[in-house]
Chain A
Amino acid sequence: MRIRVIRDKCQGHARCWAQSPALFELDDEGYILPADIVVPVEQERAAWLGAKSCPERALVIEQDGKE
């Protein structure tokens, strides 16, 4: 599983970070780091919850290369 980060859409709600601070890292302003996130298998549920919690829909879940 991969999380595609649409950095332009991030507005710093930090709801993903609240779900999983290790997976969704923030910069000093509280906005997500721009790189896509490769999710270890054991963290897939946390990643899914984090991506789903984004009010701006800035995080897209990709499974086997598909959304």
Chain B
Amino acid sequence: MGSFTLTHERPDCFYDRFERKSELQHQTHYCPGCGHGIVHKLLAEAIDGLGVQDRTILVSPVGCSVFGYYYFDVGNVQAAHGRAPAVATALKRSLPDKIVVAYQGDGDLGAIGTAEIVHAANRGEAITVIFVNNGIYGMTGGQMAPTTPLGKKTATTPFGRDALNEGYPLHICELLASLEAPVFLERVGLGNNKQIMGAAKVLRKAMENQVKGLGFSLVEVLSPCPTIWKMDPVEAQRFVREEMAAVFGIGNYRDRTATATPRPARPAPPKLEELPGILGLGNGDRDRLPCGETSAVDYRIRVAGFGGQGVLMLGEVLAEAGLDAGYHVSWLPSYGPEMRSGTSNCHVRLSSRPIDSPLVSQPNVLLALNEPSLHKFLPGVEPGGIVLYNGDAIPEGCGRGDVRMVALPFTRIADQIGVSKAANIVILGALLEATDLVENEQATAALHKLVKSPKWFDIDVQAMERGREEMRKTTMPVSDDYLWGV
């Protein structure tokens, strides 16, 4: 007779008493013959064996194992149905040197949480997932699971699972094995002691992978559910061994532990005082002079044109320059599909007083880069306002005697300096010439801030100057009477 040791001790990382229920605190809440108790013990032994009890966080699911935290004396987080991989993802990313275990059943992982497990696996999250597959919904009382074998009668497949109606049992290991990122995928069974001994080794390996800092590991455990299957524990084990294993092949589906490299450690975080610089704050800004009480200015500007004409950028230059000039400013774009095709417009306000509404419904400056914009926004222009239109002449029927209207072929002027896309900045120059909106220097500084490429900056400075020149050539008197403050 061989010598062997009988062990009746609990793993250290189990609690001494299970407080799940007020009575019978020496035993679990699981039914006699249920696989969860075995899997819990194998997991606990792996945690003990690796000496990681103090570093381990267990994410328990919705299902029979929702109360995992009554047994495991480790950090515990209970997750919403199916979401354990998402919860575990953030735990692991937040605490990269901790051991994060997601424990899930077949409904949790294979049905409602399919997206979460696939994507956590695909990102190669460096977590360990224990997937207990018993082919049935236990906690809710025996409904079909995604892993229920064909033909099996359940509470929701009273005629037996029919592939035409319910599809086929979902093979999670095989599914995840189609992904590049997982390091370790293996299916084990609890069909007899030999299988259980094998499962112990695999579970330990899946945990060890994480201790080594390797990527995603998952162990699928074919597990008995005698109560719902309406079998005695022995018969249930036979069912696992013979019928479940016939549908779900026991074995390894991915083992890259020999070649996988640990995830690199995150670089050290920056110092606190470096943060503003990282966020692009507070560097290189000039002190701004508050504008005086007397300079009551209220520019309400609407810029409009086709998408791609630089409408939003022109508005942004105005706002940036206005801020530099000491005004209160706001910039509000039309956004979304309009940015990608069709028309584009934005609302810009420069005011010597705090801005109430950033929406400009009655502009006193309209910059119309195309004809539809002129038609659309001209009626709203306030009497006495100014309109700059990108064209040779104001189109027929668009005349208004109570506003100053200037038509100049801005795009053609931009063409002359070789870049038709700079038409928006030619308009900017014209506007600056026609009004005392901001100083040239402030507009140039704004361009400098917004235009990263030196080449484009030079072109824009040139375009702005051409705009001023062309505006000077117009015969209209230049006066600020058209604009006033409130």
**A and B are partners in one complex rather than unrelated chains:** no
Chain B positions within 8 Å of A, measured between CB atoms, are none
Chain A interface (Cβ < 8 Å from any Cβ of B): none
